[in-house]
Amino acid sequence: MINPAGDSVTRPTGWQGFVNDWSSDQRAFKTASWGKAMMWIFLLSDTFVFSCFLLSYMTVRMSTTVPWPNPSEVFALEIGGKPVPLILIAIMTFILISSSGTMAMAVNYGYQRRRGPTAALMLATAAFGASFVGMQAFEWTKLIREGVRPWGNPWGAEQFGSSFFMITGFHGTHVTIGVIFLIITARKVWRGDFDVEKPGYFTSRKGRYENVEIMGLYWHFVDLVWVFIFALFYLW
Amino acid sequence: MSHAATQGSAHVEGQQHPIKLYLIIWFWLFVLSTCSYLVDYFHFEGYLRWFLILLFMMVKAGLIVAVFMHMAWERPTLIYAILVPPVAVLVFVGIMVIEANYTLLTRLNFFFPGS
């Protein structure tokens, strides 16, 4: 580890390190940059937002006297005349996981300063994300045609529609924003902005390849939220 | 800032791990997702279903946070600052379970009196 003066320092690890970091009267996150720490704190706040959505879904589902529609049947698709349960959701899950994989590799190539592979993998991630949103649009269209509304549906408890549109809609919005920022960051990588430390347009902070990792944190978080939605909304 | 200093900061603040590690995690996420899908496909019910769904969910979430988001290599300061606050959500879950059960009870009393 190298401190700003260029000297090598060793910091205590474990609990001693934890106490030292917080009581140092300096920056607490010694090895995480400002940008990374702020992204983590933003993701923490986003965790609470999604937690509240999932909690309200849990509350309405537990307290309704009307049977909850069976997600396994609601989200089934007919393939070859036979209904396959949850198949689209499973495909969407695999797509999002794959996008996380390509993103992780993009971060790796970014730190190796290999612009080509980094930008290409980020664009692949964006393409996966865009196809995910496309499938979500397809799913919404199908359900709306079948009569699902935020205030009711043909199969059971009214709260199903409002929970579904709120939770998946908010997640889809996150994916969409992620795709946009992936494309912006990939363009910066491709132009070589991070090699010449070109300042950001809004932040005026020096561009660094760490920006790719911070972008990756956001993207993995989107995948992480989907893990919880998949388990708690679709499988439960 | 000189080129050497830039590279130094990339080494201090950045995270570099072998691609192979990411591919292994990627593979396991695929396996675990398939498992959770099969829970639905084979119609496991009751506590077994709940247990398996939550188990696969937590393992997947753990792998993503620890490896893809590099949390495993951060200092404890950041780990605890980010991972401890969500415990409050679990408390909130507990409160809302009690609340939802109470709401259900009053609804049953109102809609189906005497049952």
B21-79: per-residue pLDDT in tens? 999 999 999 999 999 989 888 888 889 999 999 999 999 999 999 999 999 998 889 99
Which B residues in the span 36-75 are in contact with A, Cβ-Cβ below 8 Å? 36-37, 39-41, 49-50, 53-54, 56-57, 60-61, 64-65, 67-70, 74-75
Domain spans, chain B: 3-74, 85-115
Collect all residues of chain A within an 8 Å Cβ-Cβ radius of residue B107: 63-65
Task: Look up residue B82 and give its two tokens.
Answer: 């980010």
pLDDT at residue A81 in the model: 82
Q: Which of B68, B89, B100 sits opposite A59 (nearest CB)?
A: B100
Contacts of A94 by beta carbon, 8 Å cutoff, 6+ apart = B30, B33
Task: Look up residue B28 and give its two tokens.
Answer: 């396991």
pLDDT at residue B11 in the model: 45
Task: Report the predicted TM-score, pTM, of the whole model to 2 decimal places.
Answer: 0.90
Which B residues in the span 17-36 are in contact with A, Cβ-Cβ below 8 Å? 17, 19, 22-23, 25-26, 29-30, 33, 36
User: Nearest-CA distance from B60 to chain A in Å?
Assistant: 7
pLDDT at residue A126 in the model: 97
pLDDT at residue A8 in the model: 63
Instruction: Please indicate whether, in this complex, the C-beta atoms of B57 and A228 are within 8 angstroms of each other.
Output: yes
First to last CA, chain A: 46
The average pLDDT across B88-113 equals 95
**How far apart are the C-alpha atoms of A153 and A204, rounded to whole Å?**
50
Q: Which fold has domain A33-235?
A: Four Helix Bundle (Hemerythrin (Met), subunit A) (1.20.120)
- Which positions of chain A have pLDDT values less than 50? none
Task: Look up residue A97 and give its two tokens.
Answer: 């996981």
pLDDT at residue A1 in the model: 55
Backbone dihedral region for residue A52 (phi beyond 0: left; psi -120 to 50: alpha; all else: beta):
alpha
Q: CB atoms < 10 A from the CB of B96, how many?
A: 17
Structure confidence by residue, pLDDT tens digits, A103-136: 999 999 999 999 999 999 999 999 999 999 999 9
CA distances from A39 to A32, A114, A169, B45, B61 (A): 10, 24, 22, 39, 18
Q: CB atoms < 10 A from the CB of A18, how many?
A: 19
Task: Look up residue A189 and give its two tokens.
Answer: 């990588």
Contact A32, A13 (CB under 8 A): no
pLDDT band at B8 (very low <50, low <70, confident <90, very high): very low
Residue B6 pLDDT greater than 70, yes or no: no
Chain A residue with the nearest C-alpha to that of B87: A48
**How far apart are the C-alpha atoms of A160 and A148, rounded to whole Å?**
9
**How far apart are the C-alpha atoms of B115 and B111, rounded to whole Å?**
10
Q: Which neighbouring-strand residues pair with A152? A: A149
